[in-house]
Amino acid sequence: MAMLRAAKHAMRSLGSTAPEAAPFSRMLHASPGSKKIVGVFYKANEYASLNPKFVGCVEGSLGIRDWLESQGHQYIVTDDKEGPNCELEKHIHDMHVLITTPFHPAYVTAERIKRAKNLQLLLTAGIGSDHIDLKAAAESGLTVAEVTGSNVVSVAEDELMRILILVRNFVPGYLQVIKGDWNVAGIAYRAYDLEGKTVGTVGAGRIGKLLLQRLKPFNCNLLYHDRIKIEPALENEIGAKFEEDLDAMLPKCDIIVINTPLTEKTRGMFNKERIGKLKKGVLIVNNARGAIMDTQAVADACSSGHIAGYSGDVWNPQPAPKDHPWRYMPNQAMTPHISGTTIDGQLRYAAGVKDMLDCYFKGQEFPAQNYIVKEGKLASQYL
């Protein structure tokens, strides 16, 4: 529990305006006897054996198989999660715990929840539980929890990397080398310094705040929009300015970073109209969730040059289909969903999952900040 006890911030408050307690509540704490636990992770194949700390894959199974089986529990791990005949479907009716991950999301729909008669606990190995129908989970009396803070450093570092990749026009230079070309002008005509640029983050929670701290040495003009202001001492230390009005902040920004959860309010937030009001030549980094953006509007704006560069690791849906327009739009630096699943991040969220399972077996509470749905109520950031 040491990693979780060392969390820097206080609990996320559970929303007082959330739905009333569920009509029935599935008892969270494990009753005596063997439990069926299902994990859905990405498959590593030939990469699984290359690093013994690679625990976030099917083969690594979060490093908890021996521990679970030594206590008499059944642990099923798969990457097969789609369609009526997938491996996950075979276990929905009698599993007690489902462990999922944002990097290879098993979409836990209301229909799946309805059929999961024994299900008590949904754990996210990482941060971000929007692949779960949270309203249905709350109404069914399920508990949903994630490993808050586990990949904050991983994602914030990745965002900083992507900002620099876009600002310095890195990708075309890399592609020149691969192709055997050499054309300095083809890179330099749109390569800039980060110093002096205005960077705005939409969302300043754990990741957003850490990104702002990482950006301070670059002498940028830092702006942020969030429903809650950063604590005054930290805000002064970073030198960031709070912008209450999102649409007033966005046109000021040379670079926009998305750091807000996916909710019904933020889904499609960056549509054609809002993108059209951004500064021409804006750079956008999105490691939050792909569905916050209007997919085609982003592709069109990159093609027209209104967005001069777009980078991120989140798509809608995931995995991204081969014909997804973001694969082929110009001026993009996209990757699969990788930012939060570094080896260090994996070890943190694997430890957090094990800690919460241990609490579940012992009838103990989780760290308060980990709850996303508890006793029929959603955490405030998902309201």
Nearest to 43 by CA among 29, 31, 58: 58
Q: Does the annotation count 346 as an active-site position? A: no
- Between residues 11 and 64, the one the model is more confident about: 64
Asked whether residue 313 is marked as a ligand-binding residue, the answer is yes
165 is in an annotated binding site: no
206 assigned binding-site residue: yes
262 close to 289: Cβ distance less than 8 angstroms: yes
**Tens digits of residue pLDDT in 107-139:** 999 999 999 999 999 999 999 999 999 999 999
To the query of whether residue 337 is one of the catalytic residues in this protein, the response is yes
Pair 173, 156: CB distance under 8 Å: no
Q: Tell whether 370 is in a known binding site.
A: no
73, 324, 337, 348: which is the annotated catalytic residue? 337
Helix axes 152-167, 170-179, angle to 10 degrees: 70
Please tell me whether 337 is known to bind a ligand.
yes
Q: Tokens 């709350």 map to which residue? A: 138
Q: What is the pLDDT of residue 20?
A: 41
Q: Which two tokens stand for residue 287?
A: 């490691």
Looking at residue 88, the DSSP 8-state letter turns out to be: G
Is the model's pLDDT at 7 over the cut of 50?
A: no
**How far apart are alpha carbons 99 and 93 in whole angstroms?**
15
Q: Decide: residue 192, CB within 10 A, 0-12 exposed, 13-18 middle, 19+ buried.
A: middle
Mean pLDDT of the chain: 93
Residue-wise pLDDT for 78-94, tens only, equals: 999 999 999 999 999 99
**Which domains are seen in the chain, by residue range?**
36-148+342-382 (3.40.50.720), 151-334 (3.40.50.720)
The burial of 24, by beta-carbon neighbours within 10 Å (0-12 exposed, 13-18 middle, 19 or more buried), is given as exposed
Indicate the angle between helix axes 152-167 and 343-362, nearest 10 degrees: 150
Residue 339 annotated as lining a ligand binding site? yes
From 120, 151, 169, 286, active-site residue = 151
Name the pLDDT band for 33 (thresholds 50, 70, 90). confident
Whether pLDDT at 4 is above 50: no
* Residue in the block written with tokens 């940028």: 220
Tokens for 337, please give them.
């969903």
Q: Is 236 known to be catalytic? A: no
> Is 158 annotated among the ligand-binding residues?
no
List Cα–Cα distances, 24 to 64, 93, 365, in angstroms: 31, 18, 20
Cβ neighbours, 10 Å, residue 288: 27
Q: What digits encode the pLDDT tens for the residues 188-217?
A: 999 999 999 999 999 999 999 999 999 999
Examine the pLDDT at 151 and tell me if it is beyond 50: yes
Question: Any known ligand binding at 365?
Answer: no
Q: Comparing C-alpha atoms, which of 234, 301, 236 is closest to residue 271?
A: 301
List the beta bridge partners of residue 334. Answer: 312
Question: What's the confidence (pLDDT) of residue 1?
Answer: 42
User: Which of 268, 310, 258, 313 lies closest to 291 in space, CA to CA?
Assistant: 268
DSSP type of residue 79: S
**Residue of 318, 331, 332, 370 marked catalytic:** 318
Q: Which residue among the candidates 96, 289, 324, 348 is catalytic per the annotation? A: 289
Does 226 show up as a binding residue in the annotation? yes
Two tokens, residue 295: 């997919």
Q: What is the pLDDT of residue 12?
A: 35
Residue 340 in marked binding region: yes
pLDDT tier at 27, thresholds 50, 70, 90: low
- In the annotation, is 316 catalytic? no
Using the predicted structure, report yes or no on whether residue 3 has a pLDDT greater than 50: no
Residue 116's pLDDT is what?
97
CB 269 within 8 A of CB 242: no
How many residues in total does the chain contain?
A: 383
pLDDT above 90 for 39: yes
Sequence-separated (6 or more) residues with CB below 8 Å from residue 158: 287, 313, 338, 339, 340
Task: Output helix, strand, coil percentages for the chain, rounded to the nearest 5.
Answer: 35, 15, 45
Residue 281 tokens read as 């030549």
Q: In 10 A of CB 306, how many CB atoms?
A: 16
Take residue 360 and report the two structure tokens written for it. Answer: 């579940």
Q: CB–CB of 378/129 below 8 Å? A: no
Tokens read off for 127:
């941060």
